[in-house]
Structures are given as C-alpha cells and as structure tokens.
A and B are shown apart, each in its own frame.
Chain A
Amino acid sequence: MRIFGFNIYRYAAPQEFHPLAGRIARWCAVAAAALLMAGLYLAFFVAPTDFQQGEAYRIIFVHVPAAWMSMLIYLVMAGWAAVGLALNARLSFMMARALAPTGAMFTFLALVTGAFWGKPMWGAWWVWDARLTSELILLFLYIGFIALHAAIEDARRADRAAAVFALVGAVNVPVIYFSVKWWNTLHQGASISLTKAPAMAAVMLWGMLLMVLAFWAYSIAVALWRLRCLITEREREMDWMNVAKEEA
C-alpha cells in the first residue's frame, strides 16, 4: 500500500522504522516543549481565579490532561495489541509495550494530582468513589501488562499473552469515562463534552487544551524513543541467537 508515495509496509519492519521513529520523536519533543510553555503561561498568568475553588482549581491543568492521557494511551496500547494479534506483527507488539510505562505514569499522576485536589476541596485525599476506583484499576492493569510481559521468557509468547491481557482490560476504560454518569460519584462530571458547551471560561479551556496537546506530543516522543530501545534490544537478542545457533 502506498500513501503519499511512501510504501507504508516498508515501515512495518522494525529496522526500517527505527530511524523514522527517531525523527518523529525529535519533532514531537520540540512541539511538547513549546506547547507546555504556552499552556503553563495561560494556566498561571492568564486564566482567572475560579470563583468557587479559588486558585486550587489550577490543578486542573495537569490533572485533566494526565487523566485523559491515561485512558487514551491504554486504548492505543490495546489497539496495537489487537493489530499485533491479528497480523502477528512484531512492531505492533513493541508499540504496545513502548506505551505501557508512560500510560502507567500518567495514571499515577492523575490519581496523585486528584488527591492533591480532593484534599482541599472534599476534605479527603481518597474516597472509594467509582471514578477513583476504576482509575486505580487502570493503574493495576498497566502494571499487570508490564509484569506479565516481563514474567514470560519467550519473547513471542510474552507478546501474545500481554496483548490478550491488554485487550481484556480495555473494558475498564469506558467504565472510567462514564463512571460519573452511571453512578452517583463525589467526582465532578465532565468539564468538556462533545454534546454541550464547555462548562468553563474560554481561556481556561484553551489553557487545558494546550496542556493536553503538550502531553500528547510528550507521550508520542517518549513512546517512540522507548520503541527504538526495544527494537535495538530485540534485534540484539536475535543476533545472539543466530550466533549461538551457528556455533552449535
């Protein structure tokens, strides 16, 4: 298949994708830095004080992007796992693995920044509310994915087992997203929805969108960088195996 004159199947081979991943990662890193500066400027110097929550609401500028990324990265990871299982493509499994630590990090950040917001607003660091509990389960799913892959020695079996695990766990993502609707939660409802006008001032919204884009660019850069490491490590393993076979 050719897209814009490029043979995209060429890039399905890890060795071919390695340099391209490096180039994309570099551009995304630059974009992340620029977006982060702009987003932080709006978040701290332009966005007004919230009339209900005072300055504490500014936590929204890291909390919401981190929470969104935690769910989105899981869906993308599960998507690559599905592609890997369907096409038996090595690079797809590697892509899923490259995303897991970053997704786990954002899940952890969503939980902790949420606690830093919950303490002054609700008076509690943690409550066993549907939104918080399902997000905690997401963290365990990421850790489970990473641990399962690490526990199986044969790389191909590890890829497949972890991919199945990621796919099964994907049912948790809609549960997190809709938890504030399905259950009576302490957690506030969505600040932004596709069907209603956003329940926040335009400048706050812009600040948050810039932060979301910055986190996107950061995630792509970091995941592709990790992918490059994974490709090199896997290829080295195969070289060793070939050398061992020749010697035997």
Chain B
Amino acid sequence: MMHWESLSQFLSMGGYAFYVWSSFGLTAACMAVEIFLLRRRHRALASEEGV
C-alpha cells in the first residue's frame, strides 16, 4: 500500500467511495456480462454443431 494507511482508508476513497467503486464495479460487471453472454452463445453454437 503506497499512500493508504489502512484498508478502511483505501475503501473509503477520501469520502468518494460510492462514486469511485460504483464506476469501477459497473465497468467490471459490464465486461463480465459481455464475456458470459459470448461464452453462452459460443457454447450453444458448438453444441448444435455436435462438437
């Protein structure tokens, strides 16, 4: 930890925790959903092909 003195200080983001973690969390969630949907589409195609 470079300039964070504790985990709770890191998590509180200087009072902007909601805004910062929502931004990063939503970005991660969107990417995860996109990957999940693609994997499902790919699997469905592969199973129909009988591979």
The verdict on A66 contacting chain B, using a C-beta distance below 8 Å, is: yes
**Contact assessment for B14 and A113 in the assembled complex, using a CB-CB cutoff below 8 Å:** no
With a CB–CB cut-off of 8 A, which chain A residues contact B4?
A: 45
CB contact list, A50-107 vs B, under 8 A: 54-56, 58-59, 62-63, 66, 101-102, 105
With a CB–CB cut-off of 8 A, which chain A residues contact B1?
A: 45
- Give complex CA distance A2, B50 in Å: 36
- Give complex CA distance A117, B23 in Å: 8
A210 to chain B, nearest CB (A): 15
**Contact assessment for B14 and A108 in the assembled complex, using a CB-CB cutoff below 8 Å:** no
B43 to chain A, nearest CB (A): 10
- Give complex CA distance A63, B49 in Å: 40
A82 to chain B, nearest CB (A): 26
Partner-contacting stretch, out of A155-163, A174-182, A221-229: A221-229
Chain A to chain B: the 7 pairs with minimum beta-carbon distance, closest first: A55-B14, A56-B16, A113-B23, A55-B13, A116-B19, A54-B14, A116-B23
From known contacts A62-B27, A113-B27, infer whether A101 and B16 are also in contact, taking CB-CB under 8 Å.
no
Binding site for B on A (CB under 8 A): 44-46, 48-49, 54-56, 58-59, 62-63, 66, 101-102, 105, 108-109, 112-113, 116-117, 119-120, 218, 222, 225-226, 228-229, 232-233, 236
B44 to chain A, nearest CB (A): 9
CB contact list, B1-51 vs A, under 8 A: 1-4, 10, 13-16, 19-20, 22-24, 26-27, 30-31, 34-35, 38, 41-42, 45, 48-49
Interface SS of B by simple majority: helix
- Give complex CA distance A229, B34 in Å: 14
**Contact assessment for A59 and B20 in the assembled complex, using a CB-CB cutoff below 8 Å:** yes
**Contact assessment for B2 and A112 in the assembled complex, using a CB-CB cutoff below 8 Å:** no
Interface SS of A by simple majority: helix
A-B contact pairs, 16 of them (CB 8 A): A45-B3, A54-B15, A55-B13, A55-B15, A55-B16, A56-B16, A56-B19, A59-B23, A62-B27, A66-B27, A108-B30, A109-B26, A113-B23, A116-B20, A228-B42, A236-B45
**Contact assessment for B2 and A56 in the assembled complex, using a CB-CB cutoff below 8 Å:** no
A203 to chain B, nearest CB (A): 10
With a CB–CB cut-off of 8 A, which chain B residues contact A120?
A: 16, 19
- Give complex CA distance A62, B15 in Å: 19
**Contact assessment for A56 and B14 in the assembled complex, using a CB-CB cutoff below 8 Å:** yes
**Contact assessment for A229 and B23 in the assembled complex, using a CB-CB cutoff below 8 Å:** no
A230 to chain B, nearest CB (A): 10
